[in-house]
Amino acid sequence: MAQTDQTSSQVAAAGTTSEEARQILDRLASRFSCRDFDHSPMDPDLLAAIVADGVQAPSSCNQQNWHFIIVTEPEAKRRATEIAGGNPHFETCSALIYLCFQKGWTHGNFSIVQSVAAACYHMMLSAHLRGYACIWNAGIGDHAALHDMLDLPSTFELQGALAIGTPRPTAPQMKAPRRPLEEVMSFGTFSRPDHAVYPAKPAKAYPYFEIGNASNPFAEWDPTRWSWDQIADFRGYSVWAKSPLAGVYVSRRQGDAQGVEHSLLPPTAHDVVEVMPWSGTSTVALDAALSVDAHLHVAELAQPNLDFIRERLKQEGVVRKALSFDLMAGGKLPYADQSMDLVVLPQVLEHVPDPEALLDDVKRILRPGGHVVLSSRNMSSAYGAHWRDVESVGQVPNQGPFTPIEASSLGDLVKARFEIEVACGIGREATGDAERLDGDDAETGRLFALRARRT
């Protein structure tokens, strides 16, 4: 209590009461990232004022070796979007502020990077208080192309870009979830719950500069090395890397292949469960493939992910009358025995700690004659070789750890529990294509998909 009183006195002495400070802080905390802007312009003087607020942030040794390039011309923003290889909000925002710093000074402990980050966040708060939305982006694309576009000297480096503008009226007003304070804070020594510490391959040391997105020798892709709670935690927070905007951020792992997967659905099913659909993009397509009177249950490991999927479906205009969002704590499906007609697992089994236990649970909830439709990345394919040589060398992606399953092994797991009615491969190439492969070629596709019936 004494500490609280002292802090309140200090705040009051500075001219702000603790209540006023709380109001200000609450307003700052309401800031959320926006990826859906309305194209409207902003006054250049206002943009300059936001940058002026940003440079009030501290910088290493007060050298202020930062530089901020404001891009507002439509053609330049279109080019920025092209270079980024995505990020459609780069084109629709009012302005992009590229965050740069001069190389060669105060690099110890990334102090110049910390300085630019502090200034960027100060700009974000300034924009928020002025009634605008923004989002900070590290993924800005090829730096050489951006150096040319911005005429940036080689002695300067790009750190990211801040997109600012007015949200469209329909833009999701969602703030990504924050961890409970007790998970990210401890006094005196490190203390963090097991589920919030992700596995890494055992090593004597983990040198920082040996770890990158494309090359991470310590990344643990094997989901059997993760607990259900760790995977739930990872999915519950990491999936918020994508905003729930209609028609965009559809996973490349789905694409046209999703249509082939859904062609395996049985003609009729009333009670349907989709298990761990990640961002909900597959749920949108599944909703369109089901009869209007079907009851669709979405089962996920973490509540924040369910909230995300719910908003995604809202943004996509899904209006199904019977739609439920259910938490499968510990990987256990929360449904009664023999209560479902159809269970859909869209590239799920390769993500879970115990695929056999999940299939057993699927069998438990299916009625006799009910179906399971599932797909998995196939280790015995061109994609499997690509995964071993390229993908698995890098960082675990935002959808969580996974290891492709050989098509024949997956078939054996399913046949031990169900009667397989149809199976096919999807995609002859390592990535991208969605050619359906039947007969002897079925087990060579980058995806292996099937429909099976509970007898």
Percent of the chain with pLDDT over 70: 94
Contact at 8 Å (CB) between 269 and 454? no
pLDDT of residue 300: 96
253 versus 61: which is more confidently predicted?
61
Residue 251 has pLDDT above 80, yes or no: no
Residue 173 has a pLDDT of 85
Q: Are 410 and 416 in contact (CB under 8 A)?
A: no
DSSP string computed for 118-129? HHHHHHHHHHHH
Does position 228 have pLDDT exceeding 90, yes or no?
yes
Amino acid (1-letter code) at residue 371: H
- Poorest-pLDDT segment among 312-316, 350-354, 436-440: 312-316
Query: Both tokens of residue 203?
Result: 């090593």
Average pLDDT, the chain: 92
pLDDT of residue 243: 65
Distance of CA 96 to the CA centre of its chain: 22
Give the residue from 131, 124, 137, 113 showing the smallest Cα distance to 54: 124
**Is residue 177 classed as helix, strand or coil in its secondary structure?**
coil
The boundaries of every CATH 3.40.50.150 domain in the chain are: 257-453
Q: List beta partners, residue 85.
A: none
pLDDT band of residue 244 (cuts 50, 70, 90) is: confident
What's the pLDDT tens digit per position in 277-306?
Answer: 877 888 999 999 999 999 999 999 999 989
- As a whole number of angstroms, the distance between CA 133 and CA 165 comes to 6
| 3-state SS track over the chain | CHHHHHHHHHHHHCCCCHHHHHHHHHHHHCCCECCCECCCCCCHHHHHHHHHHHCCCCCHHHCCCEEEEEECCHHHHHHHHHHHCCCCHHHHCCEEEEEEEECCCCCHHHHHHHHHHHHHHHHHHHHHHCCCEEEEECCCCCHHHHHHHHCCCCCEEEEEEEEEECECCCCCCCCCCCCCHHHHCCCCCCCCCHHHCCCECCCCCCCHHHCCCCCCCCECCCHHHCCHHHHHHHHHHHHHHCCCCCCCCCCCCCCCHHHHHHCCCCCCCCEEEEECCCCCHHHHHHHHHCCCCCEEEEEECCHHHHHHHHHHHHHCCCCCCCEEEEECHHHCCCCCCCCEEEEEEECCHHHCCCHHHHHHHHHHHEEEEEEEEEEEEECCCHHHHHHHHCHHHCCCCCCCCCCCECHHHHHHHHHCCCEEEEEEEECCCCCCCCCEECHHHHHHCCEEEEEEECC
92-146 tens-digit pLDDT: 999 999 999 999 887 888 999 999 999 999 999 999 999 999 999 999 999 999 9
What is the rounded radius of gyration, in angstroms, for the C-alpha atoms of the chain?
Answer: 25
CA distances from 425 to 380, 437, 445, 448, 454 (A): 11, 5, 4, 5, 22
For residue 254, the model assigns a pLDDT of 62
User: What is the Cα–Cα distance from 174 to 385, expressed in whole angstroms?
Assistant: 39
Task: Note whether 223 and 357 are within 8 A (CB).
Answer: no
Fold of 257-453: Rossmann fold (3.40.50)
pLDDT exceeds cutoff 80 at 68: yes
Q: CATH 3.40.109.10 in the chain: give the residue spans.
A: 31-165
Stretch 215-224: mean pLDDT: 97
Rounded CA gap, 81 and 322, in Å?
39
pLDDT tens figures, 165-195: 999 998 888 888 999 999 999 999 999 999 9
pLDDT value at residue 106: 79
Confidence of residue 14 (pLDDT cuts 50, 70, 90): low
**Mean pLDDT in residue range 351-362:** 98
Task: Supply the CATH classification number for the domain 31-165.
Answer: 3.40.109.10
Contact call for residues 399 and 429 (beta carbons, < 8 A): no
